Amino acid sequence: MNADDLAGPPTTPPGPLEPWPETVRWQPISRDLIWVELIRLGIGLAVALVVLGAAWAFSGHWLLGAAIGVSLLLSAWRTVTIVRAVRAWGYAERDDDLLVRHGLLVRRLSIVPYSRMQFVDVSAGPLERAFDLATVQLHTAAAASDARVPGLRPAEASRLRDRLTALGEDRAEGL
Amino acid sequence: MTNGQPWPPPGYAPPTPGDVSPDHAAPPGYGPPPDQTPPPGYGTPAGPQAQPWPGPVPPGPVPPGAWNPAPWGPPGGEEPRQRLHPLSPALHGAKSLVVVIAGLSWSTLSRVGFGWFAVLVAVFVLGATVLSVISWWNTGYHVVGRELRVHEGLLWRRTRAIPLERLQAVEVVRPLLAQLTGLAELRLEVVGGGKTEAPLAYLGVAEASALRQRLLAVAGRAPAPAPTAAPGVPAPPAAAGRRLHAVRNQDLLVSQLLTPQAFLLPLGLAFVVAQFLSEGSWSFIAVASTLTAMAGVLLQPIRRVLDDWSFRLDAEGDTLRVHNGLLETRVQTVPLHRVQTVGVTWPLLWRMKGWLRLRLEVAGYSAGEPDDRNRPDRLLPVGDAGTGELVVAEVLPGVRLDALPGTPPPARARWLRPLSRAAVGAGLDERVFVARSGLLTRRLTLVPYARIQSVRVTQGPAQRRLRLATVHADTAGGAGAAAVDRDLGDAWALAAELTARARAARRADRPA
């Protein structure tokens, strides 16, 4: 994948996000999620700018002007990381479990066995729908397990959901 | 989960599978419509068919057997609704006395004087008692098919249907007041329930244990029938099980004296006395307030002593039975196949005695329960190494506490945890994942491979610089266990090994 994600020195496995390279085939998520995230960021920034700008115009305190500058800077930095974060997100279906990896600053890899699945959520917000995307989330009995895959095409999302439920029913052991 | 035979109560049609409808709709095959007709014996004779139960019934003469499980309903028909014990409202009213006094507080007492204070308390308690009488009158429960239905409420009528397939445990709890009056409270734990469902408070002891047996039988997990005791016997009937361990009360007292709170108490007392001596004013209010504050500090050790008094652990088939409590005796039944994690703790001050504490996490009990006394989490309040060994071997066969593997993280992890690097560690035993932590209070978490829900590997920015990562094993309910700051290659290998072992253990566990 993208080599610029490797900040540390080279390790025994090829990359910190990709263990077991010979057996796992990682699927990327749709790049359109970048736009969804960017628009979300833009909306948040616009709201913050309007509020801060109005307050600045009324009070004229220099701190508010500085806050506007800081939020612009943060947004610029976030824009860069959004692109990289979406590229870093990936999932892989193995025979018995689903692997999900994500995160740039704190990297996370979840390994969730199909048989532990309690239920599957497929959701799509208005922005995601506009870009023809959906999110699949797998729930287990443990609150800590996070297996969420955003940025899937609806067809792929329903395929994944059906596969997960089929495999889950097949091997259900619940608790 | 429940592969037992549905308990066939006489006069019942077999329950329709999947019927958990909590509403009043009568499923076909259940005989007469269950909830629309007032069963005879509840006040006035049955009115028109459409009259909802209980309806505006004047409190007529309650038949003497109304709270008795003896069947007095129409033979062959729907099981009649049972009332709770008629002493329940009085107990609820007495319970509210404490709340009322605490709510009015010392300052109110000083402002209005003792006479008015007593009047206020009496008014509030009387009001509470009247409310509980009304709620008692409108509360009823019965078993319908494979559900326990609890009806309650006068204005907001509520019917809860508790599917007994999802029943985890039934607990008989006896608070102090209930012990004095020979009553007991029945608590049901249901998988996925947000909290303890439907505390039936209060029933007669014999009735409570009979209902417990019956519910467990319907749930398909019938334990050996317990000998029922006559009401008035101080403890609920304990079934004949194999006694594993009984904690000596003396050890319990000493262990709670070896806590930071108990050590700080003399200092606090000296401070208060010095202050009063220097000021020379001993007002009643000030003393009472100080004592209340001190009681707050000491609450945890005192509560532990009260809760764990005469702690007994019995094995009964594949369940553990925990019996504890001084003022409030409780009997908790823990199915061993539901145990998710076992935690071992060595508090700093207990090390001179070589003592440890064992706790466990059970699935189905929510973590969000405000009062964690209701969760069966005690395995051993205090004990020496040999006892700990024995109890752990009972819960997790083949696990030996003194021979658990564990390796500390690599030496470069000292940049992240300069003091506790040697104290943390993780290892793979034959059946359990072992994680150690804690420098002063040493902790050990054991997670059976078969109970692992998912495996996660996380790596923060500092860990990335040092090529370290943390491996989490998640379990249902509770935090699971984490091997912190492992070498990256090691972490991947550990995650792969955990996944593989969890899969193998699940396969072995699965009933054919």
Number of domains in chain A: 1
Q: How far is B454 from chain A (nearest CA, A)?
A: 5
Instruction: Give yes or no for B511 touching A (CB within 8 A).
Output: no
Residues of B within 8 A of A113 (CB-CB) are 453-454, 499, 502-503, 506
pTM, two decimals, is 0.66
Looking from the CA of B211 toward its CB, the CA atoms found within 13 Å total 31
Model pLDDT for residues A41-56, shown as the tens digit of each residue:
999 999 999 999 999 8
Span B404-509 CATH architecture: Roll (2.30)
Q: Is residue A47 part of a domain?
A: yes
Residue A38: which pLDDT band, with cuts at 50, 70 and 90? very high
Residues of B within 8 A of A103 (CB-CB) are 458
Residue B455: which pLDDT band, with cuts at 50, 70 and 90? very high
Residues of B within 8 A of A9 (CB-CB) are 467
Q: Is residue A103 part of a domain?
A: no
Q: Is residue A171 part of a domain?
A: no
**Mean of the per-residue pLDDT values for chain B?**
74
Q: Give the per-residue pLDDT at B281.
A: 61
Tokens linked to B500: 């593989």
* Domain ranges for chain B: 249-308, 404-509
Interface of B with A in 339-378 (CB under 8 A): 363-364, 367
Q: Give the per-residue pLDDT at B7.
A: 42
**Consecutive H or E run containing B320:** strand B319-324
Spell out the alpha helix ranges (H) of B219-367. 249-257, 260-279, 284-308
Q: Are B106 and B290 in contact (CB under 8 A)?
A: no
pLDDT of residue B54 exceeding 50, the answer is no
Indicate whether this complex's ipTM tops 0.85: no
Task: Say which of A113, A141, A146 has its CB closest to residue B503.
Answer: A113
- In terms of residue numbers, what domain contains A68? 32-84
Tokens linked to B487: 């070498």
Model pLDDT for residues B195-247, shown as the tens digit of each residue:
555 578 888 888 888 888 888 787 765 443 333 333 333 334 444 568 888 88
More confident residue, B35 or B478: B478
Looking from the CA of B150 toward its CB, the CA atoms found within 13 Å total 17
* Contact pairs from chain A to chain B, CB under 8 Å: 103
Q: Which residues of A53-76 are buried (b: 16+ CB within 10 A; e: fewer)?
A: eeebeeeeeeebeebeeeeeeebe
